[in-house]
């Protein structure tokens, strides 16, 4: 089977190359870009020297359609809106890593992304690829809206609780932190080394475009959910997201019951690991891997729950989950190409 990666010069694209290079079913892949056509991929990413000889090709949808079976869109938001409908109508399977296809409601997208939304019919066909939650509908999908990095960590962290426990819906707070690779590979003062190093910054306060994505997903569990409190911080590190989630259940709980609830919920999910009571994950413990690690506790003093959910933003938060979705669609082992343990230290 052959795959195309459009937008391969970004960090998400390079991570797709890394995974697909070791994937048993998709060993052939080609790379497309709008900016460095003709250059060898390994000139842009020297870690791939002598590993791949692929050249960056221009994005010609007709050619791509003839040559490949599945297309990964690893482009910034606003590109997939235009390209994906054309690729999709040519019969290819598309997995879009951008935010363009994630919203059923065009207005929501246009309000938060300040861009023109994709056509309604395309949005209706797109399946939100949070694999553990939507595995059954992913199986039959041909068009995947791959979730955002923050939403992946957040929704996997909150879902079992909201599904099984009555909580004060207004109490939910998500305090999220990310490494700098989430901003993509580009020249920018805000993500230059001297501005990020030895610094901890809050950004997009109450304005992050992942807010409506999280709300849309959580409303499928409880339609009464109102607007959520969600803030994002930039951590001086390259990879990793932690969502620290607070909320108040309406009734008292025990730590053990909470932990059991999560363990049960994710018992068949290889890539979600629930920690023992009293044990919390750090981001490095999933570094370079497709795992989402979750720790959870109930504070007897306050009656509040704290959930800690970590992922590697480029893997489970982007390229890893994209391949996980592909595996599900292909009906092969969901972890194909994704079993590499985290890299630590």
We find the least distance from the C-beta atom of residue 292 to a second copy, in angstroms, to be 12
Our CB check for a second copy shows the closer of 119 and 279 to be 279
Q: How far from the centroid of its chain's Cα atoms is residue 205's Cα?
A: 20
Closest CA to 52 of 82, 21, 73, 90: 21
We find the least distance from the C-beta atom of residue 112 to a second copy, in angstroms, to be 11
Our CB check for a second copy shows the closer of 261 and 310 to be 310
Our CB check for a second copy shows the closer of 88 and 280 to be 280
We find the least distance from the C-beta atom of residue 36 to a second copy, in angstroms, to be 12
Q: Which residue reads 């730590």 in tokens?
A: 255
Closest CA to 249 of 301, 308, 176, 172: 172
Our CB check for a second copy shows the closer of 12 and 85 to be 12
Closest CA to 201 of 229, 231, 172: 231
Our CB check for a second copy shows the closer of 18 and 57 to be 18
> Which one is catalytic: 149, 194, 247, 292?
149
We find the least distance from the C-beta atom of residue 300 to a second copy, in angstroms, to be 8
We find the least distance from the C-beta atom of residue 39 to a second copy, in angstroms, to be 13
Query: How far are the Cα atoms of 79, 183, 233, 288 from residue 83, in angstroms, in the given order?
Result: 6, 22, 32, 29
Q: Is 149 a catalytic residue?
A: yes
Output Rg (C-alpha) for the chain, integer angstroms. 20
Q: In what order do the strands lie in the sheet with 292-299?
A: 201-203, 229-234, 173-178, 241-247, 304-311, 292-299, 272-274
- 311 contacts: CB under 8 Å, gap ≥ 6: 149, 152, 153, 156, 240, 241, 286, 291, 292, 293, 317
Query: How far are the Cα atoms of 213, 316, 317 from residue 15, in angstroms, in the given order?
Result: 23, 11, 11
Active site residues: 149
């Amino acid at each position: 089977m052959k795959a195309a990666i459009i937008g391969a010069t970004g960090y998400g694209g390079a991570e797709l190359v890394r995974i697909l290079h070791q994937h048993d079913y998709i060993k052939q892949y080609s790379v497309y870009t709008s900016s460095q056509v003709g250059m060898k991929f390994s000139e842009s990413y020297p870690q791939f020297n002598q590993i791949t000889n692929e050249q960056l090709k221009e994005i010609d949808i007709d050619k791509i359609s003839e040559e490949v079976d599945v297309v990964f869109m690893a482009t910034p938001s606003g590109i997939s809106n235009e390209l994906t409908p054309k690729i999709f109508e040519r019969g290819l399977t598309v997995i879009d890593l951008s935010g363009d296809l994630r919203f059923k409601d065009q207005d929501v997208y246009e309000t938060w992304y300040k861009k023109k939304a994709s056509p309604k019919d395309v949005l209706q066909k797109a399946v939100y690829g949070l694999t553990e939650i939507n595995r059954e509908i992913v199986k039959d999908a041909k068009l995947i809206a791959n979730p955002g990095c923050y939403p992946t960590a957040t929704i996997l962290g909150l879902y079992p609780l909201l599904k099984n426990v009555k909580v004060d819906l207004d109490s939910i707070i998500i305090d999220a932190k990310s490494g700098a690779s989430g901003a993509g590979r580009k020249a920018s003062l805000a993500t230059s080394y001297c501005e990020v190093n030895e610094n901890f910054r809050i950004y997009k306060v109450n304005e992050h475009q992942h807010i409506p994505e999280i709300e849309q997903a959580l409303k499928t569990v409880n339609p009464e959910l109102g607007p959520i409190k969600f803030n994002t911080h930039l951590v001086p590190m390259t990879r990793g997201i932690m969502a620290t989630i607070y909320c108040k259940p309406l009734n008292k709980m025990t730590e053990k019951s909470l932990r059991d609830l999560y363990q049960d919920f994710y018992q068949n999910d290889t890539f979600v690991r629930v920690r023992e009571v009293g044990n919390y994950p750090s981001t490095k413990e999933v570094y370079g891997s497709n795992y989402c690690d979750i720790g959870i506790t109930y504070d007897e003093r306050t009656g509040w729950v704290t959930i800690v959910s970590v992922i590697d933003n480029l893997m489970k938060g982007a390229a890893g989950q994209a391949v996980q979705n592909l595996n599900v669609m292909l009906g092969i082992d969901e972890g194909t190409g994704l079993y590499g343990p985290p890299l630590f230290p």
